[in-house]
Structures are given as structure tokens and as C-alpha cells.
Amino acid sequence: MTVTVAHPALEPGRVGGLSTSNRLVVAPMTRVSAAPDGTATPEMAEYYAEYARGGFGLVITEGVYTDAVYSQGYLNQPGLVSERHVSAWREVTAGVHEAGGSIVAQLMHAGALSQGNPYRDDTAGPSAVVPQGVKMPEYGGHGPWAAPREMSPDDIRQAVDGFVASAVNAERAGFDGVEVHAANGYLLDQFLTDYTNLREDSYGGPIAARVRLTAEIVAAIRAEVGPDWCVGVRVSQTKVNDFRYRWPGGAHDAEVIFAALAEAGATYLHVASEGRNWLDSARLDRGLTVTGLARRVSGLPVIANGGMHDADLSAQVLADGHADLVSVARAALVNPDLPRRLAEGSAPVSFDHAMLSPMVTLDNARRWRLAAGADA
């Protein structure tokens, strides 16, 4: 006999006008498995539909590049900049919808952290600052980062236009919304970060100026898609190339960021932990958590991230008002049926890093499953 377990993450969720069957979200995860021209593949359609069949209420895609200039971060990253891209994504969204799920496209500009872009040989960012660390082999990169070119006002306008055009393309492709990627060290986070943004114009200086570009993009998308379509924003303190970084102004900086994004017209806020447990990354000064503060300041639904496959932790985060939904990344890779496991009280399969080795592709994940004796 199947036992059904009561858990707050299994209750219906809502982000703006978008209703979800539960409050479990698949977090965006780079898979570098698109065609060389950025077109989504049938394998990707099956990959995303599997999460919906497994019971996830909302699926957020991997970062999708937004223009044919500087935005692409990885070779074989999917895009949303051509008719071919739009057509292929329609197959993906249809599969998720047929399985009863909702799907949001994460829109991403890599900025200085681009390590594979067939459109350009150089990179661009807020300032000509060499990124910390080295490129990531699991995503096809090797060696040190190059110094980016400081973006001109025209470059910034081009980036904004790319986000807007890609959002319109996402709507045409059948997505239920978009998530503006302002986290994890990529372009918009580079503008938010004090040591990568040394600008002296209206996009640099105090935190209210450094968040301006993200807010402008959200407002521009909102003006184009109307008041009801879902336009989320993902933010983080930590980065793929700097796990220690925290907003220097602590709760003050967080309040300024969250208020600006809400005023710009965001539907929800998604606070990423960059592979860290929520308990480790969410604490701010004055006994606050970054997700709880985001809820209070913005008045928007908030998605918490970081170890949320742990049933006790996710229950605490939701029940204590730290977030409205929870997102799961690597645990979802090995447990695409995690919501069903949670409902049945079954322990999730432990994540094995070999699933992402030597690269984070769907092909390598399939090989891992075959070796582990799971269905392909």
C-alpha cells in the first residue's frame, strides 16, 4: 500500500498568475547539450518532460543565451535568438505541458564569464576586470579567464534589447514565463558586484546604481509582455568563481536589490545558493535570512535554493515563512521523480558527481544511469 506523506512542498503553489501543482521547482542547470547553433534537441525535450512526469510543479530551464553577440557562455548552450530556436523550444514546452507541468526559460548573459561563444572571440563586462579563478572544465572550459572589454552605453543597450527579444521569443515558444539570470557571477551579477563593477557612470557606485541594469531589463520585459506573464529574477551572493562573496552591505544591500526588482515588475525572486546549503548561504545580519528578507521587502513569492531535497529542511523553510517555493538542482538530476518520492516518504537517491563527469552533458548523465542500472 502506498503511503501519502503530508509536506508543505506538496501543496499547490502560485507565482503571480501562474499556478503550480506543488511548490517543488527544478532549478536551472547548465547541460551544454544543444546543437552547435543553440537549437534545443529532442533529447532536451525528453529531459525536461521527465521532471514534469516525475511530479515537479515548475521547471526552470538551464540558462539560455539572449543575443548573437556577447551573451553566450558555453559551446552547445541553447539560445532564444532565432526562429529555429523558437521552433525547437516549442517541442520542449509542449512536452512539459502534456505531462502537467509548467516551464520557465532562464535568460542568461554570461558577460565576462563566457568560455565558449562562436559569435565572438572576446568578452564584455561592466569593467575590464579579470574574473577570479579559472574556466570550468565540466562546462568545456580550460585555463584562465580573459579580461573583458568594458561595456559601452551601446553595448548595454544591446544587452537589454537581447533580454527583451528573447523574452518575447520565449512567450512565442510556449513558455509560461522567463527568469532573468542575475546570479552566480554572470553579467547582471557582475554589475551587482562591487569588485567587478568599477564604473563611474549611472550603472556603478552604490548598490542602488549597480542593480539598475537588472531592474531596467525586468521593466523592459514587463512593458513588452504585459502585466500578467511571469517574469522572475534569480539573484545570489555567491558565484561559480567565488563561493565566499557576500553583499558587502549585508541586509541593507539585499533590501535595495529586492525593492528595486519588485518595483521594476518582477513576478518572483529566486535566491540561489551556488551549490551551498541554504543554512550556510541564507544568513544575514540581525538574525535575518536572505530569502525571508526578500519576501518581506518585495512582497513577492520567493523560491529558496540549497539542499531543498532534504524533507526536513524544505519543510522548515516553507513552514517558517522563509520562502514560498523551493528549488532543487543536483538532487533532481538523480531523482526526477523527487515529488513522488517525497509524497511516498521514500528516500531520494544520493547524488553522484560521476553523473557530471567529464562534462555536464545529457549524454554523460545517460551513461551514468546505464552504469547504475537505471532506465536510460
Instruction: Give 284-330 pLDDT, tens digit per residue.
Output: 877 789 999 999 999 999 999 999 999 999 999 999 999 999 999 99
> Residue 2: what pLDDT?
57
> Residue 1: what pLDDT?
41
Grid coordinates of 320: 517558517
Q: List for the chain the helix, strand, coil content (%; round to 5).
A: 40, 15, 45
pLDDT band of 376, cuts 50, 70, 90? very low
Task: Determine which of 48-62, 268-282, 339-353 has the lowest per-residue pLDDT on average.
Answer: 268-282
Specify whether the CB–CB gap between 64 and 77 falls below 8 A: yes
pLDDT band of 278, cuts 50, 70, 90? confident
Specify whether the CB–CB gap between 187 and 129 falls below 8 A: no
Cα angle 264, 265, 269 (rounded to 5 degrees) comes to: 100
List of domains in the chain: 8-372 (3.20.20.70)
d(CA 206, CA 5): 47
> Residue 375: what pLDDT?
46
Residue 327 has phi, psi (to 5 degrees) of -110, 145
d(CA 277, CA 280): 5
Write down the catalytic residue from 51, 74, 186, 245.
186
Position 326: which residue type?
V
> Residue 30: what pLDDT?
97
Phi-psi region of 5 (alpha: psi -120 to 50; beta: other; left: phi over 0): beta
The 10 Å Cβ neighbour count of residue 116 is: 16
Check whether 274 has a pLDDT greater than 80.
no
pTM tops 0.75, yes or no: yes
Grid coordinates of 31: 547541460
Higher pLDDT, 122 or 281: 122
The three-state (H, E, C) secondary structure of 76-140, written as one string: CCCECCCHHHHHHHHHHHHHHHHCCCEEEEEEECCHHHCCCCCCCCCCEECCCCCCCCECCHHHC
Task: Determine which of 56-60, 218-222, 241-245 has the lowest per-residue pLDDT on average.
Answer: 241-245
Give the CB-side neighbour count of residue 226, counting CA atoms within 13 A: 5
> Residue 276: what pLDDT?
76
Check whether 331 has a pLDDT greater than 70.
yes
Residues 33-71 have pLDDT tens digits of: 999 999 999 999 999 999 999 999 999 999 999 999 999
Calculate the average pLDDT of the chain.
95
Average pLDDT over residues 129-134: 97
Residues 350-365 have pLDDT tens digits of: 999 999 989 999 999 9
pLDDT above 90 coverage of the chain, percent = 91
pLDDT band of 3, cuts 50, 70, 90? low
Which residues are bridge partners to 179 per DSSP? 106, 232
Q: Is 186 a residue of the active site?
A: yes
> Residue 279: what pLDDT?
79
